[in-house]
Amino acid sequence: MAEHKVDLELDCRGMSCPLPVLKTKKAMDGLSSGQVLKLIATDPGSVNDMNAWTRRTGNPLLGSDKPPGEFVFYIQKK
């Protein structure tokens, strides 16, 4: 997966729905336009949830990674 410049890392390992979404929203609110959040989650539901959340809110999902047992997302603040 391509490397992304990361401005903030958010660890949501071990958290279930909807906490990764709620914490992502909160973290993104603290970023300025163009900055990138790296989200690390273990909830398999987060794959579809983060796709939906980024589509709905218009914050581009730059890419994702799938290390064993984890789901990593790079989300840019619109």
Looking at the Cβ atoms of 20 and 74, the one nearer to another protein is: 20
12 is catalytic: no
- Contacts of another protein in 31-50 (CB under 8 A): 43
Taking CB under 8 A as the rule, which mask of x and - marks residues 54-73 in contact with another protein?
--xx----------------
- With binding defined as CB under 8 A, does residue 25 bind another protein? yes
Residues 13 and 39 sit within 8 Å (Cβ to Cβ): no
d(CA 65, CA 16): 19
Q: Tell me how far, at minimum, the Cβ of 2 lies from another protein, in Å.
A: 27
State the catalytic residue, choosing from 17, 51, 55, 78. Answer: 17
Residues 71 and 3 sit within 8 Å (Cβ to Cβ): no
d(CA 26, CA 31): 9
- With binding defined as CB under 8 A, does residue 16 bind another protein? yes
Alpha carbon of 78 to those of 25, 38, 69: distances in Å? Answer: 12, 15, 29
